[in-house]
Amino acid sequence: MVGLIVLDFASGQVRRVLDRHPDLQIEPGVKVVSHGAEVWPGNPLLLGINGIALSPDGRTLYWAVTTGTRARSMPTAILRKTGASDAQIVASIRDLGAVGGNTDGIVTDSKGGLYITDVTRNGIVKYDPRTKAMSLIASDDGVRWPDTPAILPGGDLVFTSSSLNDHFAGSVKSGDERYDLWRLPRRPQQGENPLTVVRTLRSRHERCKLCPEILDTSPPRPAAAGLHLPSPTARRKIKMSAAMFAALFFTVALLVTTAYFIMGSIPLLVLKHDTPLDARFVRGFFNIYYVGAFITATATAIRLAFAGRPGLAAGAAALALIAVALRKKVIPKMDALGAQIQSNYMEAIPGFRRTHIIAILINLAQLVAIVWSLITWGR
């Protein structure tokens, strides 16, 4: 029951493709062999697609079948195309050639090279997508079932050796377990066996902390390898984490600004608005709010745009424009009504109070819009 599960991080939609396709299934007639012996003789190990990795640019998906001997790839563009038919997806599969033995884990480096663990020949196979060459680049009889390869920041490759074939055979007694962490230098010395054991665990329950000799102190490479980034969309989201944090900060600042002035403007309704002092105070309060709302809304719109949230950015920009429009509309009206109140024109008092209430209601609507945007963001 093999297949590929495609998850769209942007929409949350999940779909299954290549269901039970032969290129993901075990190869007929192939046996899993390690250290010259069949794994589980009489009860053969049947394991389909296992190792899987993305190219560093996220445009190519690689995979290999453990009960098989070949590696394959396909462009991720066809997987991101929701309307692609099964026939189109199948047609995009490329056979990269024979690995040479059975496989388990795979990983890519920052230059696009594909590394495949060869459990039959106890080593590492490299596929070069530029030359299309597949070759065994390192092997050692001490490697027993290589798996879970990873690229260190300096470019060296590390992988585990778990003696899984011996565990399948039941030949490992309790207390005799051995789990090795091997290292393959990026530039091995000529004439030397490049593979070295850098850490050995005697129990699968023992915690492995990468000791100083494993860590590479050279500057980290800009592109991480492996399956850490499931799609270009997810890659962009991770890179934008700082921008998203700044956008969230300014959005909350806009929320606090709006809520603070609402809480301050409602108690002002107790004023009778019948003196010039009341009018000037209320007018000054709203003027400060509109200036503050414009500044925080503008900053929020800019940060949301940089964070890749154009819809929310447009909403924040709209709030900034509303603050400008209200300042041009409400403040002059309050000035005019305040002047009439100062001239003892009492009919202006209800108008000033009504303007005050309308301004509060508009602020409440803005507050609801900001809270809704935060809820939408959280989803």
**CB-CB contact of 123 with 143 (8 Å):** yes
- SS3 percent helix, strand, coil of the chain, rounded to 5, is 40, 20, 40
Give me the tens of pLDDT residue by residue for the chain, a chain 379 residues long: 799 999 988 888 899 999 999 999 999 999 999 999 999 877 888 999 999 999 999 999 999 999 999 999 999 999 999 889 999 999 999 999 999 999 999 999 999 999 999 999 999 999 999 999 999 999 999 999 999 999 999 899 999 999 988 887 788 888 778 889 999 998 877 766 788 877 777 655 455 454 444 444 444 444 333 333 344 554 444 444 566 677 778 778 877 888 887 888 788 777 776 777 878 888 888 889 889 889 988 988 888 888 777 888 888 888 889 889 988 998 898 888 888 877 878 778 888 888 888 888 988 888 888 787 777 765 5
CA separation for the pair 265, 281 (Å, rounded): 11
- Predicted TM-score of the model (pTM): 0.56
CA separation for the pair 200, 188 (Å, rounded): 22
CA separation for the pair 299, 275 (Å, rounded): 37
User: What's the pLDDT score for residue 206?
Assistant: 52
User: What's the pLDDT score for residue 72?
Assistant: 98
CA separation for the pair 259, 293 (Å, rounded): 11
Domain coordinates of the chain in residue numbers?
27-229, 240-378
211: left (phi over 0), alpha (psi -120 to 50) or beta: beta
CA separation for the pair 172, 46 (Å, rounded): 21
CA separation for the pair 116, 133 (Å, rounded): 13
**Taking the domain 240-378, which CATH number applies?**
1.20.120
**CB-CB contact of 50 with 102 (8 Å):** no
User: What's the pLDDT score for residue 66?
Assistant: 96
User: What's the pLDDT score for residue 266?
Assistant: 82
Q: Domain 27-229 is of which CATH architecture?
A: 6 Propeller (2.120)
Query: pLDDT by residue (tens digit) across 282-303?
Result: 888 888 988 988 998 898 888 8
Query: pLDDT by residue (tens digit) across 41-54?
Result: 778 889 999 999 99
240-378 and 27-229 share a CATH fold: no
Instruction: Assign 111 to helix, strand or coil.
Output: coil
